[in-house]
Structure 1
Amino acid sequence: MHHSQNTGPVVAAGLPSAADDAQTLEARLRAGAVRAGSAPAIRDAAAVRATHHDLRRIRDGGRLRLREAGVGRHDRVALVMAGDWRTAVALVAATSAAAVAPLDPGLTDSEIAVCLARLAPRAVLVDAPSAARMRALAGADTAVLVWSVDDLDGAPDGTAAELPAPDDPSLLLFTSGTTAAPKIAQLTQRNLAAAADNIVSTLRLGAGDCALNAMPLYHGHGIFPGTLAPLTAGGSTVCARVNTAAELLTIVRSAAPTWYSAAPVVHHGFLTMARSTPAVREELRLRAIRSTSSALAPKLLAELEEYLGAPVLEAYAASEAPGQIASNPLDGPRKPGTVGTTQPGSEVAVLTADGQITNAPGSVGEVLVRGAIVMPGYLGVPADRQPFVDGWLRTGDQGALDGDGYLALSGRVVDVINRGAEKFSPAEVEEVLAQHPAVREVAVFGRSHPTLGEEAAAAVVLHETAAVTEGELIAFAAERLAGYKVPVTVDFSPALPRGRTGKIVRRRLKEQAERSTARMGHRTASGR
Structure 2
Amino acid sequence: MPDLLGGLPARADLLLRAAARRSGDHSALVLDGDTVTYARLDAAVDRCAALLRERFGAGRAVVAIGADLHPDVVIAYHGVLRSGNLALPVVPLLREQQLQYVLEKSGARAALVGAQLYERLRRIQGGLPGLELVAVLGENSDENPVDDRQVPRFADLLDAAGSGVPEHRAAPDEPAALHFTSGTTGMPKAVVLSHRNVTVNAVQTARAHSLDRTSVTLVHFPSYHPMHMNSALAAAATQVLVPGPDPVEAIDLARAHTASHVYMLPARLAQLAAHPRLSELRLPGARMIASGGSALAPALADTLSKHFGLPVVQGYGLAETSPLTHFDRPGDHRPGSVGTPVEGTEHRVVSLDDGAVLPPGENGEIQLRGPQVMQGYLDGEHGQPVNADGWLATGDVGRIDSDGRLHLTDRIKDVFKCDNWLVSPTEIEVALAEDPTVADSVVIDRPHPVSGAVAHALLVLTDPGSPEEAERIIGRLNARLPYYKHVHSHEVVARLPRTPNGKIPRRELRASFHARLDGGSPMVILINEFILTSAPEEFEKVFEASSVYMRTQPGFIDHTLVRSLTNPNVYTNIARWEDAAAHIQVVQSDGFQEHIRELTSVAKATPQLHTVVSHVECG
Q: Which of the numbers 119, 122, 125 marks the counterpart of 2:112? A: 125
* Change in CA separation of 1:461 and 1:36 when aligned onto 2, cut-off 3 Å: farther
Deviations 1:384-419 (A, max 9, x none): x21123421111111121222111111111111245
Q: Indicate yes or no: 2:348 matched with 1:349.
A: yes
Q: Which residue of 2 aligns with 1:194?
A: 200
User: In the alignment, is the contact (CA less than 8 A) between 2:181 and 2:190 conserved in 1?
Assistant: yes
Instruction: State the match for 2:397 in structure 1.
Output: 398
Q: 1:95-145 CA distances to partner (integer Å, 9 max, x unpaired)?
A: 433222222333222222222221111222235675575355343442123
Q: Does 1:319 align with 2:295?
A: no
SS of residue paired to 1:125 = strand
- Residue equivalent to 1:181: 187
Quick one: structure 1 residues 322 and 398, their matched pair in 2 at CA, closer, same or farther if it must change by over 3 Å?
A: same
Q: Does residue 370 of structure 1 match 2:378?
A: no
CA contact (8 A) 2:460 2:494 kept: yes
- Whole-angstrom distance in 1 between the partners of 2:422 and 2:119: 51
The equivalent of 2:435 in structure 1 is: 436
The answer to whether the 8 A contact 1:121-1:142 is kept is yes
Distance 2:51 2:223 in 1: 22
- The correspondence for 2:94, drawn from 102, 107, 110, is 107
Between 481-490 and 33-42, the greater mean CA deviation after superposition: 481-490
**Structure 1 residue 351: deviation in Å?**
2.0
Provide the rounded CA distance (Å) in 2 between the counterparts of 1:361 and 1:444: 26
Contact 1:57 1:153 in 2 (8 A): no
Matched with 1:5 is: none
- Report if aligned partners of 2:27, 2:36 keep a CA contact under 8 Å in 1: yes
Residue 330 of structure 1 aligns with an amino acid whose one-letter code is P
Contact 2:51 2:161 in 1 (8 A): no
For the 8 Å contact 2:227–2:324, the answer to whether it is kept is no
Q: In the TM superposition, what are the counterparts of 1:302-317 in structure 2 within 5 Å? A: 302-317=302-317
What's the offset of the Cα at 1:504?
A: 5.2
Counterpart amino acid of residue 245 in structure 2? N
Scaled by the length of structure 2, the TM-score of the pair is 0.72
CA contact (8 A) 2:5 2:203 kept: no
Distance 2:251 2:335 in 1: 29
**Structure 1 spans left out of the alignment, 5+ residues:** 1-13
Equivalent position of 1:208 in the other structure: 214
Residues 421-470 of structure 1 show CA distances to partners (whole Å, capped at 9, x for unaligned) of: 66422133234324434346544233578998754233456669997822
Partner of 1:107: helix, strand, or coil? coil
Q: Is the deviation greater in 368-377 or in 437-446?
A: 437-446
Within a 5 Å distance, the mapping from 1:178-327 to structure 2 comes to: 178-217=184-223, 222-225=225-228, 227-244=229-246, 247-248=249-250, 251-252=253-254, 254-273=256-275, 275-276=276-277, 278-279=279-280, 281-282=281-282, 285-327=285-327
Aligned to 1:66: 52
Cα deviation 1:170-190 (Å, max 9, x = unaligned) = 222221122322211121221
Check conservation: 1:446, 1:456, Cα contact below 8 A: yes
Equivalent residue letter for 2:34: V
Structure 1 residues 330 and 283: alpha-carbon distance in aligned structure 2, compared to 1, 3 A threshold: closer
CA distance in 2, matches of 1:20, 1:234: 14
* Residue aligned with 1:282, SS: coil
Q: Which residue of 1 aligns with 2:134?
A: 145
Give the whole-Å Cα distance in 2 for the aligned partners of 1:359 and 1:484: 21
Q: Does structure 1 retain, via aligned residues, the 8 Å contact 2:419–2:451?
A: yes
Query: Which residue does the alignment assign to 2:424?
Result: 425
After superposition, the Cα gap between the structure-2 partners of 1:447 and 1:163, relative to the gap in structure 1 and judged at 3 Å, is farther
Higher RCO (CA 8 Å, separation ≥ 6 residues): 1
Distance in 2 of aligned mates of 1:295 and 1:129: 28
Match of 1:29 in 2: 16
Structure 1 residue 224 displacement after superposition: 0.6
The structure having more radius of gyration, on CA atoms, is 2
RMSD: 3.6
Task: Report which stretch shifted further, 70-79 or 483-492.
Answer: 483-492
Shifted more, 304-313 versus 368-377: the winner is: 304-313
Q: Distance in 1 between matches of 2:22 and 2:344?
A: 25
The answer as to whether partners of 1:41 and 1:234 remain within 8 angstroms in 2 is yes
Cα offset, 1:377, TM superposition: 1.0
Q: How many Å separate the matches in 1 of 2:266 and 2:255?
A: 24
TM-score by length of structure 1 reads 0.83
1:215–1:262 CA contact under 8 A, matched in 2: yes
Counterpart of 1:48? Answer: 34
> Is the alpha carbon distance of 1:85 and 1:122 closer, same or farther for their aligned partners in structure 2, counting shifts above 3 Å?
same
Give the match for residue 528 of structure 2: none
Q: Which amino acid aligns with 2:265?
A: A
Task: Determine whether 1:457 maps to 2:453.
Answer: no
What's 1:171 paired with? 177
